[in-house]
Structure formats: structure tokens, C-alpha cells
């Protein structure tokens, strides 16, 4: 289906980036000349230049006057987030503890939540909740955006300083004496609309992984909702699934992973 409202240079840039990431244009090599790309994409050379400028700012290309444009992949280490039955492994990787990411608290304050959050947590229409918003960075670049919704009565108990060094769930349970029984997780592919694109420092329409966690108390009551947005150009889901559940060694070896795609 044809996308409307998306600038052509953005589409060209996205296509060139995919060719770079798939090694169709290998690192250190040269991309075709602007006139050749303009002919291929049936656009003007001005559109090609804008696409190249965008990819240059993102670190995928390096232009050399009089020589052409060379492919230059950003030097980013890979991260792994384990998605498995081992909650501790998932907790450490998803919360940025392993590997350790830089965490910035954007705000921690009362908030009138969206209708979906009200429905999940069972609160009245005009009742505020506590909301925590944080960004995570890897090598200085924003890679994910987390939002936590919870009862307003817990807001003042959360020590802001700990929220840059520990996961929200760890701080929440330690500060409120609440213990969670289980979580329900939903994963969805979404795009960065204008608000998310600004927060995540990415382009409009960029792909994102959206993860929603609902944490339940021992009385099966939902108490916390966490929304996590991962930049799609930095993460990929990868899974290893046992085919013989009777083999303990195989079960241990096969874990689902979420790895950063540099």
C-alpha cells in the first residue's frame, strides 16, 4: 500500500539504510552516484542529496568531496535482552542492568492516564495516577523509552535517585512493600509518530518494538502498567526453541533473546 504524507527523501533514505544494513552496500564501499540513484528511484538529485544528508547525520554514510559517498556503519556494541522463563535474566537485561545503560528520569509526577490504562488498573475517569518516564541510552544514543503507571498513593514513596540505578519494579517493591505475583506481557510492532519520534530522537515513521507489561499482585489485581518503546533500528527479536522438552540440557540451552542490531 502506498504511504501518503511521507517525504520521498525519507523513503529513499530508509531503502538505502536497509541496503547498508544488509551489506548490499558493504562498509567502506561506495554507494552509487547521485545521478544513478536518482534514475533508479525516479526522483531528482536534490531528493537523493537530502536522503544522503540524513544518513550522514545518522552515521551511516560519509561524504568525501570529489570522491563520492562511502558507507560508514555506526560503531555500536550489541546488547541482549533475554526473554525466557528466568525472570531475573529478563529483569537485568530489560532494565538496562546487563549491559548497564545510562538512564535519565524525564519526570515523576501525577498524571491523567489514557483510557486503556484506566481500564486495566480499574480507576475512575478523573482519578490521577503516578507516572514515571525514563530514557535509556547506549553509547550516548537514545535506544528506549519507558513509562510506568501506578497508584498515586505510591508516588511519594519512590526515591527518584534510585530510579537511574535500579529497575522500576525493584525500587517499587522495595519502597512500597508490595510484592508482585506475575506479569502479563504483550509485544507489538508500531511506528514512531511525532511525539515518540521526538522523545526517541528518531525519524517520523521509524519502526519501534512496543512492549506492555501488566504486573499483578498476589490477589491477582493489576497494580502497575509499564510501556516500553525500543527503537527498531537498534533491536531485533531472536529465539531458540527446544524441540525435545524431555532433554534438560536442551531446555537450558534454548532461550529467547532480544538483541540489539547495531
| pLDDT for position 2 | 42
| pLDDT for position 1 | 35
Domain boundaries, the chain: 8-71, 80-259
Topology adopted by domain 80-259: Chorismate lyase (3.40.1410)
Share the mean pLDDT of the chain.
81
Our CA dihedral for 251, 185, 207, 116, rounded to 10 degrees, sits at 170
Q: Could you report the per-residue pLDDT of 153-210, keeping only the tens digit for each?
A: 999 999 999 999 888 999 999 999 899 999 998 888 888 887 898 899 988 788 898 9
What are the residues whose beta carbons fall under 8 Å from the beta carbon of 17, sequence distance 6 or more? 55, 58, 60, 233
The CATH class of 8-71 is mainly alpha
pTM for the structure as a whole: 0.67
pLDDT band with cut points at 50, 70 and 90 for residue 247? low
pLDDT band with cut points at 50, 70 and 90 for residue 108? very high
Q: Could you report the per-residue pLDDT of 62-86, keeping only the tens digit for each?
A: 987 767 899 987 665 555 555 554 4
CA distance 188 to 83: 15
Amino acid at each position: 500500500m502506498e504511504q501518503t504524507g511521507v517525504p520521498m527523501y525519507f523513503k529513499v533514505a530508509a531503502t538505502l539504510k536497509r541496503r547498508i544494513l544488509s551489506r548490499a552496500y558493504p562498509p567502506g564501499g561506495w554507494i552509487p552516484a547521485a545521478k544513478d540513484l536518482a534514475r533508479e528511484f525516479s526522483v531528482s538529485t536534490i531528493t537523493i542529496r537530502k536522503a544522503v544528508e540524513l544518513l550522514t547525520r545518522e552515521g551511516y554514510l560519509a561524504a568525501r568531496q570529489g570522491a563520492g559517498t562511502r558507507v560508514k556503519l555506526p560503531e555500536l556494541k550489541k546488547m541482549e535482552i533475554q526473554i525466557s522463563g528466568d525472570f531475573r535474566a529478563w529483569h537485568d537485561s530489560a532494565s538496562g542492568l546487563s549491559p548497564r545503560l545510562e538512564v535519565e528520569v524525564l519526570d515523576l509526577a501525577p498524571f491523567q492516564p489514557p483510557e486503556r490504562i484506566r481500564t486495566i488498573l480499574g480507576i475512575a475517569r478523573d482519578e490521577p495516577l503516578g507516572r514515571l518516564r525514563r530514557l535509556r541510552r547506549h553509547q550516548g544514543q537514545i535506544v528506549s523509552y519507558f513509562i510506568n503507571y501506578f497508584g498515586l498513593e505510591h508516588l511519594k514513596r519512590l526515591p527518584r535517585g534510585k530510579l537511574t540505578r535500579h529497575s522500576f519494579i525493584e525500587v517499587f517493591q522495595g519502597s512500597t512493600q508490595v510484592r508482585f505475583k506475575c506479569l502479563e506481557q504483550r509485544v507489538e510492532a508500531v511506528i514512531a509518530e511525532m511525539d515518540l519520534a521526538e522523545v526517541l530522537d528518531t525519524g517520523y515513521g521509524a519502526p519501534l518494538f512496543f512492549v506492555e507489561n501488566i504486573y499483578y499482585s498476589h490477589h491477582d489485581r493489576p497494580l502497575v502498567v509499564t510501556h516500553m518503546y525500543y527503537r527498531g533500528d537498534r533491536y531485533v527479536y531472536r529465539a531458540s526453541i527446544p524441540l525435545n522438552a524431555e532433554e534438560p540440557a536442551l531446555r537450558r540451552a534454548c532461550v529467547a533473546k532480544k538483541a540489539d542490531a547495531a
